[in-house]
Amino acid sequence: MLPALKTWAHALRTDDRGLNTAELMGNAALAIAALVVIWGALQALGVDVVGWIRTSLLGS
């Protein structure tokens, strides 16, 4: 039983399939940072994004 357990544990440690939590959190942080930069650039250019969304949705 012990050799099988060692083999299984080694396979778990060396398997690189899928994403781990740290990678997912890093990707989410980069996406949020990109959105903040885009939002800031649009505001610096004078584009009122919230007003545009409001008028698009409500039509007034």
Domain assignment present for residue 37? The answer is yes
Domain hosting 46: range is 32-60
Domain assignment present for residue 53? The answer is yes
Angstrom CA distances, 7 to 10, 31, 32, 47, stand at 5, 38, 40, 59
9-56 pLDDT, tens per residue? 777 777 666 667 888 899 999 999 999 999 888 888 887 878 888 899
pLDDT of residue 43: 84
Domain assignment present for residue 14? The answer is no
pLDDT of residue 10: 79
Domain assignment present for residue 45? The answer is yes
Q: What is the pTM (predicted TM-score) of this model?
A: 0.51
Domain assignment present for residue 57? The answer is yes
Rounding to the nearest 10 degrees, give the CA dihedral for residues 49, 53, 55, 59. Answer: 160
Domain assignment present for residue 24? The answer is no
pLDDT of residue 28: 94
Given a cut of 80, whether residue 7 has pLDDT beyond it is yes
pLDDT of residue 35: 94
Give the chain's domain count.
1
Domain assignment present for residue 38? The answer is yes
